């Protein structure tokens, strides 16, 4: 046996099947919708450059929805795994450092100002601005060589501030309808997004993923403790900077385009951890795919369920995710006995 070939741990087949499942779910997501769509014809028309109705539906509605589902899920899953690795705490999730709440507040401000009505991309831009401001504040709060506790405290502070500011915006909403719109947006949804949303989020997310992926060896080392990780040659300050920056880019842009989708970043790493030999570094990419699969599945479910207007995605991921968490608690309790 080699260190990388332990029972139950074969990275290539695992990542391969997760990637395949992600592709399959993306395809299924494109096939599912409110009106029947001749998918084959739509694809051929689209590739041939013919602006037929099926091609338009595919390109304007189905494709961005499926792509964003995969991208947002990947970002949330990967950032969740990274946070759990950094904080060495299974309860950590992408929102723990406050970036998601700040992104949500940024978007809410746009709602509130009425800018969202005049410019289609104002909402996601506001969300990204919120995430950016929060990241800068976080880095200033932390300085160099901050401890994990400082990071969590700074995250709690940011979270409560952004949460309070969002509540204030709701409180001061000009009319109940505006407040309701904000609340619905906060629940997260992939409906009515365009390829512009994809184009806006994709470069930010990709950069975030690369930054997160670069932390993998350091996260493995960190599972042995901070002193040992440092003695193995990893600069923990640099690790935190890359990880927070990567999570902020990936999660900030995810929240900016879809609103808050909870539980994905918390649950997916837990489900996949045993399959990667419990190595936090190996968990990153796997959780990315796992997150994509979960979000796509939830979004397919949203459209298949006979409830109209459709349920919000964040509600469904939480409804799917919570039972997994209950099962996890049960398992941890049994193992503790």
Partner 1 sequence: MAITASGITVSLGGKPILRDVDAQIRPGEVLGLIGPNGAGKTTLLRVLAALLAPERGGVDYDGASVRQLGRSALARRIAFLTQGGEGPAALSVETLVGLGRLPHRRPFAEADDADRQAVAQALALCDVAGFAGRAVGTLSGGERRRVLLARALAVEAPYLLADEPLAGLDPQHQLDTLQLLRRISGDGTGVVVVLHDLALAARFCDRLLLLDHGRKIADGLPVEVLDDVRLAQIFGIHALRGVHAGEPFLLPWRTLDNGKTAS
Q: How far is the CB of 88 from partner 1 (least distance, A)?
A: 8
For partner 1, how many residues bind (rule: CB under 8 A)? 27
Q: How far is the CB of 105 from partner 1 (least distance, A)?
A: 36
Would you tell me how many other CB atoms lie within 10 Å of the CB of residue 49? Answer: 7
Q: How far is the CB of 234 from partner 1 (least distance, A)?
A: 7
Q: How far is the CB of 325 from partner 1 (least distance, A)?
A: 18
> What is the token pair recorded at 228?
């040992």
- Asked whether position 150 contacts partner 1 by CB under 8 A, the answer is no
- Asked whether position 334 contacts partner 1 by CB under 8 A, the answer is no
- What character string, x for contact with partner 1 (CB under 8 A) and - otherwise, covers 195-224? -------------------x-xx--xx-xx
Angle (nearest 5°) at CA 172 between 166 and 175: 115
Instruction: Give 10 or 303: the residue with its C-beta nearer to partner 1.
Output: 10
List CB contacts of 75: < 8 A, sequence separation 6 or more.
94, 205, 208, 209, 250, 251, 253, 254, 288, 291
Q: How far is the CB of 138 from partner 1 (least distance, A)?
A: 24
**Helix ranges (DSSP H) in 32-147:** 39-48, 53-57, 63-87, 99-113, 115-118, 122-142
Out of 234, 259, 289, 300, name the contact with partner 1 by CB under 8 A.
234
Stretch that binds partner 1, among 225-233, 239-247, 256-264, 303-311 (CB under 8 A): 225-233
Out of 120, 136, 232, 332, name the contact with partner 1 by CB under 8 A.
232
- Picking from 292, 298, 105, the residue whose alpha carbon sits closest to that of residue 189 is 298
Residue 85: Cβ-neighbour burial (10 angstroms; 0-12, 13-18, 19+): buried
Evaluate whether 140 touches 146 at the Cβ level (below 8 Å): no
- Asked whether position 7 contacts partner 1 by CB under 8 A, the answer is yes
- Picking from 225, 90, 235, 92, the residue whose alpha carbon sits closest to that of residue 151 is 92
- Asked whether position 177 contacts partner 1 by CB under 8 A, the answer is no
- Asked whether position 3 contacts partner 1 by CB under 8 A, the answer is yes
Interface residues with partner 1 (CB under 8 A) are 1-4, 6-7, 214, 216-217, 220-221, 223-225, 227-228, 230-235, 273-274, 277-279
């Amino acid at each position: 046996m080699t260190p990388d070939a332990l029972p139950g741990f074969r990275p290539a087949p695992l990542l391969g099947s997760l990637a395949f499942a992600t592709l399959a779910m993306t395809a299924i997501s494109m096939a599912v919708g409110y009106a029947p769509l001749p998918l084959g014809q739509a694809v051929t028309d689209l590739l041939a450059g013919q602006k037929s109705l099926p091609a338009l539906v595919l390109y304007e509605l189905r494709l961005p929805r499926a792509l964003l589902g995969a991208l947002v899920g990947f970002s949330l899953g990967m950032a969740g795994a990274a946070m759990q690795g950094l904080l060495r705490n299974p309860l950590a999730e992408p929102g723990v450092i406050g970036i998601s709440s700040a992104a949500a507040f940024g978007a809410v401000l746009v709602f509130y100002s009425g800018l969202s009505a005049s410019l289609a991309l104002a909402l996601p831009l506001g969300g990204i601005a919120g995430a950016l401001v929060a990241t800068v504040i976080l880095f200033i709060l932390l300085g160099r060589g901050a401890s994990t506790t400082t990071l969590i405290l700074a995250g709690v502070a940011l979270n409560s501030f952004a949460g309070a500011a969002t509540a204030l915006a709701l409180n001061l909403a000009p009319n109940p309808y505006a407040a309701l719109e904000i609340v619905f947006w906060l629940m997260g949804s992939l409906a009515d997004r365009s390829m512009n949303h994809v184009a806006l989020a994709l470069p930010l997310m990709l950069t975030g993923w690369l930054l997160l992926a670069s932390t993998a060896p350091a996260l493995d080392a960190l599972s042995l403790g901070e002193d040992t990780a440092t003695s193995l040659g990893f600069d923990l300050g640099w690790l935190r900077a890359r990880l927070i920056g990567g999570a902020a880019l990936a999660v900030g842009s995810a929240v900016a385009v879809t609103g808050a989708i909870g539980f994905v970043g918390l649950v997916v790493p837990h489900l996949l951890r045993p399959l990667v030999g419990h190595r936090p570094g190996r968990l990153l990419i796997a959780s990315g795919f796992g997150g994509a699969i979960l979000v796509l599945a939830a979004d397919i479910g949203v459209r298949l369920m006979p409830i109209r207007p459709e349920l919000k995605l964040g509600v469904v991921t939480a409804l799917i995710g919570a039972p997994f968490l209950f099962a996890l608690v049960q398992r941890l309790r049994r193992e503790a006995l």
